[in-house]
Amino acid sequence: MTASVDELHLIARRIRKTVLELSHRAGTPHLGSSLSCVEMVVAAYWGGLKLDPAFAADLSQDRFILSKGHAATTLYAALAMKGIFPESWLEDYAKPGSPLGEHPSPGTPGIDVATGSLGHGLPVGIGLALASRIQGRDDRVCVLMSDGECNEGSVWEGALFAPAQQLNRLTVMIDYNKWQATGRSDEVTALAPLREKWSAFGWRAVEVDGHDVAKLVYWLNAPPDADGRPTVLVAHTVKGKGVSFMEDDNNWHYRIPSSSEVTRALAELQPL
């Protein structure tokens, strides 16, 4: 790990600040979903994977796919902080002509895969992992999905296929915040027990606290499974994490924060 846990927490708070400001300024939704996956994005970019902007085109780099594309602001904040594109781009987020739209667009620096429609990241990640193995590389692929995304059939097609190919350099993180757009994710579909489902599909399935950045970093750096299984981190999270009046309140799937709400939220995120 290159950064200390305290530094990672500071980065996470700063990303939350950016996410809140972007949502307020552009009037874009999915704030709760963007806040719940911050530690996972931080772990990927600052603690786990080789995602050096200087070598973006180099195939030996690791790959991170934000399959839950509606959390784009979290990804954008991370990419800007990492210097993969200029921080100034954030000012034009979601404005006409900006490369940074409400969902990630391939061709934007640091973004390979079009996400926003759910259930796409895992199969593409499987293809990337397979490509590495075919070409004898040892890079890793990490796919961040949402719990609601597990409604999609393509997720389970991929869940069946990846273990059959023993793609043990593939890691999936599931942001299990217990909500999807209009209901509890365990009620809309029979999602629970989620870890057991993935385990039964042949994955090294681990339950983690999705806000415990040190634990996430640990698992992203864990040696590949000796039995060849791909890894899934079923990460328990809180939707709207980090802002008391947003936590576990699904209204913030769509609500846009007012300027006074942003001020109150930022006060809770101190020190920045």
Partner 1 sequence: MRNAFADEITTLAERDSRIVLLSGDIGNRLFNDFKERYPSRFYNTGVAEADMIGIAAGLALGGLKPVVYTIASFAIYRAFEQIRVDLCYPNLPVVIVGVGAGLGYASNGPTHHSCEDVAVLRALPNMTVLAPADAWELRSLLEAALQLTGPSYLRIGKKGEPLVHETRPAIQIGQALEIRSGSDIAILCSGTLMPQTLKVASDLESTGIKTSVFSMHTIKPLDEKLLGRLFRDVKLVVTIEEHSRIGGLGGAVAEWKADHFQANARLLRLGTPDQILHHSGEQEHALEMCGLTVEKMTSAIRQASAG
Taken as a whole, the chain contains a residue count of: 272
- Contact status: 127 vs partner 1 (CB under 8 A): yes
Helices (H) and strands (E) in the chain, counts: 10, 7
- Contact status: 145 vs partner 1 (CB under 8 A): no
Q: Rounded to the nearest whole angstrom, what is the least distance from the CB of residue 59 to partner 1 in the complex?
A: 5
Query: Using alpha carbons only, what angle is made at residue 201 by residues 196 and 202, rounded to the nearest 5 degrees?
Result: 100
Kindly state the tokens that stand for 42.
């931080």
Sheet arrangement for strand 170-176? 63-66, 141-146, 170-176, 231-236, 204-209
Member of 151, 154, 166, 199 binding partner 1 (CB under 8 A): 154
- Distances in Å between the Cα of 262 and the Cα atoms of 15, 146, 177, 195, 252 are 14, 25, 22, 35, 13
Helix, coil or strand: residue 141 = strand
- Contact status: 102 vs partner 1 (CB under 8 A): no
- Contact status: 130 vs partner 1 (CB under 8 A): yes
Prior bond of 99 cis (ω within 30°): no
Q: Rounded to the nearest whole angstrom, what is the least distance from the CB of residue 15 to partner 1 in the complex?
A: 25
Q: How far apart are CA 242 and CA 257, in angstroms?
A: 14
Member of 22, 71, 122, 172 binding partner 1 (CB under 8 A): 122
Member of 1, 10, 98, 112 binding partner 1 (CB under 8 A): 112
Member of 40, 78, 90, 129 binding partner 1 (CB under 8 A): 129
Q: Which is nearer to partner 1, 29 or 116 (CB)?
A: 116
- Region binding partner 1 by CB under 8 A among candidate stretches 14-22, 44-52, 149-157, 243-251: 149-157
Q: Which is nearer to partner 1, 57 or 267 (CB)?
A: 57
- Contact status: 158 vs partner 1 (CB under 8 A): yes
- Please, which of residues 38-97 interact with partner 1 by CB under 8 A? 59, 63
- Contact status: 165 vs partner 1 (CB under 8 A): yes
The helix (run of H) or strand (run of E) holding residue 209 is strand 204-209
Q: Which is nearer to partner 1, 76 or 179 (CB)?
A: 76
Member of 38, 124, 144, 217 binding partner 1 (CB under 8 A): 124
- Please, which of residues 180-239 interact with partner 1 by CB under 8 A? none
Other CB atoms within a 10 A radius of the CB of residue 152 amount to: 17
For the chain, the first-to-last Cα distance in angstroms comes to 22
Give the β-pairing of 231-236 and 204-209: parallel
- Region binding partner 1 by CB under 8 A among candidate stretches 78-86, 113-121, 190-198, 220-228: 113-121
Looking at residue 225, what DSSP letter applies?
P
Residue (of 173, 169, 127) closest to 150 by Cα position: 173
Member of 2, 6, 96, 153 binding partner 1 (CB under 8 A): 153
Residues that bind partner 1 (CB under 8 A): 59, 63, 105-107, 112-114, 117, 119-120, 122-135, 153-154, 157-158, 160-161, 165
